[in-house]
Each structure stands twice: as C-alpha cells, then as structure tokens.
Structure 1
Amino acid sequence: MPSDAPAPSRSARDRILDAFEELLAEQSERAATLDAVAARAGVSKGGLLYHFASKEALVDGVLDRFSALVDEDVERMRAAEAGPVDYFLRTSIPTDSRFERAVIAVARLAQAADPRARDALADAQRVWLGALEESVGDPLAARMVMLIGDGMYYNTALLPAANTVLRDETDVDQLIALVQRFAHPAE
C-alpha cells in the first residue's frame, strides 16, 4: 500500500494526530513533545493546544483514531473475498500505511506504560481473534492463525535484512495455503 503522508488538504487536527503518530513510530513517546508535534504538523503550539489541550488529549485522539481504524480493518477482514484468514495473514506483512503507523504508535505508548494503549492493543487483538474464530469455527485454530501472523510481522518488520523465513510472494501464498488447510480441515 502506498504511504499516506499528510496531504495539505488534511485538517490541522488530522495533521497534528499524524505528526504525533509519526514521532511515536519513528522515535519514542518522550520525543513526541508538544513542541515537536507542532513543528512536525506545521502548526503553532497555540494551534496544537487549540485542538488538543495536553499530551493526554493527544494520546486520547490517537487511541480514538486507532479504534476506528481497527473497526474498519475488521470490516474489510470479514468482507475479504479470499476470507478472513487470508486477509489477516496478508496484512500481517508490513506496509507503509496509515494503519500500520497507528499500530506502531499505540505500541510505543504501551511500551511507555500507558495502560490505555495496552488496553487498546488488547481490544484490537480480541476483535481480530473473534473475526478469525467466526471464520474457522475453532478457537485454537484462530489463535494459531493470529500467532503465525504475529510471526510474519516480526520476521518482515523487525528483521527485514536477515529474514530468510518469508522470502517472496510465493512463500506467502504457500504459507497461507498450508494455514488454510489446518484452519479449515473439512474444506
């Protein structure tokens, strides 16, 4: 998917949230100061404070956005032509997308011990797992799919240069076919 960098037509509020997410994803929660967010968003600090009165309000905005993105993702997952398992595994490979940036930003907040961010990630996991369980009809098989997706993400996002597990699209296709056989044994 193409990167969705903030377009000039995006509202100041959206640009501020984008900037906060980017700083979280690229650096850390500590680096995402109000001054740094305002500078990245191209607004004055007063403009930032007009939309978000505090860093806590910025966190709330990112968490609300993340929740909406998860809901949209689960809708796409349930409606995917190849099915939720295929969709979940294919989207477990990093893309430079707005959704991935939101996931990483929330993960950074969770790493900084924000309980709301941890809860948001746990809620997302429950929703994804629920959609997988609906699809495969077996809670254990659904957890297997989720863990494989997590492993795919780890190997392709965190070890891109050393990744010898998923080398190309053919590997991904073959892995998904194998997982489908285990997740849907009667088909």
Structure 2
Amino acid sequence: MARPRTIDRDKVLDIAERIVREEGATALTFDAVAKAAGITKGGLQYCFGSKDDLTAAMVDRWMASFNAEVARSTAADASSLEHARGYVVASSRLDEATQTKMAGMLVTLLQSPEYLQRVRAWYAAWIGRFDPGSEAERRARTAFLAAEGAFFLRSLGLVEMDHAGWDGVFDDILKLL
C-alpha cells in the first residue's frame, strides 16, 4: 500500500500568492493552484476546502506575518503609541507588489460575511488599543488610519506614488506619533 502524499500547506500558499501577485486575484482558481503546485484539485480541496478558505489562509498568514513584523520592533509591554509606531513603520516597509496582492485578496474575502468578520476583528483589535480619552492616543489612532488609507489607496491603484513619495507620506504619518 502506497503512503499517502502529504501536501505542504505553506508551499501551496506560496504558489497561490505568486499567482495573485503575477496574474491578479481573479487568476486564483483551484485549477491554477493545483497545476502550479503539482497536486490534484481534490487534494487541494481536501487541504483548504474552498477557494474562500484558501484565500482566508493566505490573508491569515499575511496578518500573522505582519503582526510578527510589528512585534519585532515593539516590546511586548509597549504602550499603544509604541504599537502604533511599530504598525506605521511595518506598513511603510510593504512593497507595492505585496500591497496589491493583499488588497486583491481582501477585496475577494470581504464578499463573504464569515471572512469579513475575521478581518473586522483584526482591525477592531488594533483600533481597540487606543484610548479615545487621550489626545496622544487619538493621534495614534489617526496615524493608524492614515497608514491604512495610504496602503489601500496605493494598493487599489487609486493613487500613484513612487518610493520617495511613499516614504514622505509615512514620515508625515510618523510625526503624528
């Protein structure tokens, strides 16, 4: 009896991300991912369930990676202002390809109430760090929202911005903190 083949989830997620980055979110299909990964469509479905589940796994992995990036530059017992600074700095380091990929996946996910709730919870956790009774914390919340606005405007192609312009925007956002 042959040993069952194991699917490397991270490798499949890497391939799915590459497809989204190179061809756009609409090119992300089970057929395309299975073919590029050298696995069967059934094996991919067994591993991830549905295209939405695959996309959610990609977004979850990205959010965990982003949170880890913020944590690397922010002490565990840091104030909400220091967390906001870490968030803004991590956001400023995202390259345009990553931004486009993430925006495309988020737009896809937001069409599903289940996944919309997961993304909302992630944002609520970040926004919940800031005390609206404090002027400094309100500025930190504004910096957080400004960083997200810049991310989405650039990612969705609504604002063209070169690297120097991007750095300038984030320098200005950091001044809020």
Partner of 1:175: 172
Deviation of the 1:179 alpha carbon: 0.5
SS in 1 for 2:92: coil
User: Do 2:20 and 2:101's aligned partners in 1 also have CA atoms closer than 8 Å?
Assistant: no
Number of residue pairs aligned between Structure 1 and Structure 2: 165
Partner of 1:89: 88
Call closer, same or farther: CA 1:120–1:74 in 2, change over 3 Å.
farther
User: Do 2:103 and 2:156's aligned partners in 1 also have CA atoms closer than 8 Å?
Assistant: no
| Residue pairs, 1:101-140, within 5 angstroms | 103-104=102-103, 106-111=105-110, 113-131=111-129, 133=130, 137=134, 140=138
Pair 1:38-2:16 in alignment: no
Deviation of the 1:38 alpha carbon: 0.8
**Structure 1 vs Structure 2: percent identity of aligned residues?**
25
User: Do 1:21 and 1:101's aligned partners in 2 also have CA atoms closer than 8 Å?
Assistant: no
Q: Distance in 1 between matches of 2:170 and 2:55?
A: 37
Q: How much is the aligned-residue C-alpha RMSD, in angstroms?
A: 4.1
Q: Distance in 2 between matches of 1:158 and 1:98?
A: 11
Q: Distance in 2 between matches of 1:75 and 1:162?
A: 29
Q: Distance in 2 between matches of 1:99 and 1:162?
A: 15
Deviation of the 1:61 alpha carbon: 3.4
TM-score by length of 2: 0.64
Deviation of the 1:137 alpha carbon: 4.8
TM-score by length of 1: 0.62
Q: Distance in 2 between matches of 1:96 and 1:87?
A: 17
Q: Which ranges in structure 2 are unaligned for 5 or more consecutive residues?
A: 1-6
